[in-house]
Structure 1
Amino acid sequence: MVFEIEKGIEVPDPQQKIRRTYPFPDMKPGDSFLVPCKPSESKQTGKRLGVAARRWSCRQPGKPRFAVRQVEGGARCWRIE
């Protein structure tokens, strides 16, 4: 495969909008939210939610802490610190 080299094409601006799935930045200690899912999916959903919370927390000053539990109707995430 041969690629054509082009000159004078501007680099587009980076995307300014950051896609956010979960409301971690808006939470205060004691707040929680439910991620609804089927009972057969609650374990996997809880794992994904916990990973997302840890990854977000590691990039924040003060390292907020979260707890994730499987509950009726899905997985729930609490901010605990």
Structure 2
Amino acid sequence: MAIKIEKGIPLPNKTSRRIYPFDKMEIGDSFLVKLNTDVKISIQKQKIYLASWRFSQLHPETKFTTASFQNEVRVWRI
């Protein structure tokens, strides 16, 4: 299989894949995520925790905390 090298092809614009409104939150704000009972709850919770951690790593001036309930996770900016 021969792979052709091409020149002058521009990179596509990056789109934001952000699901949660971390960038719009002020200290004391929170949001609630209702979890899908058809998908493993622990995996969904981990994804939310990881998303808030990643955002705070890219924006060190922000910090978040979370609390999980049966089928919900609430995220606060602190």
- On whether the aligned pair clears a TM of 0.5, the verdict is yes
Q: How does 1:2-81 map to 2 (within 5 A)?
A: 2-6=2-6, 10-37=8-35, 38=37, 41-62=40-61, 64-80=62-78
| TM-score under structure 1 length normalisation | 0.73
Residue 2 of structure 2 aligns to which amino acid in structure 1? V
Identity across aligned pairs (percent)?
34
Structure 2 unaligned segments of length 5 or more: list them: none
Over aligned residue pairs, what C-alpha RMSD do you find?
2.3
Structure 1 unaligned segments of length 5 or more: list them: none
| TM-score under structure 2 length normalisation | 0.75
Runs (4 or more) in structure 1 with deviation over 4 Å come to none
Q: How many residues align?
A: 77
SS in 2 for 1:30: coil
Larger Rg: 1
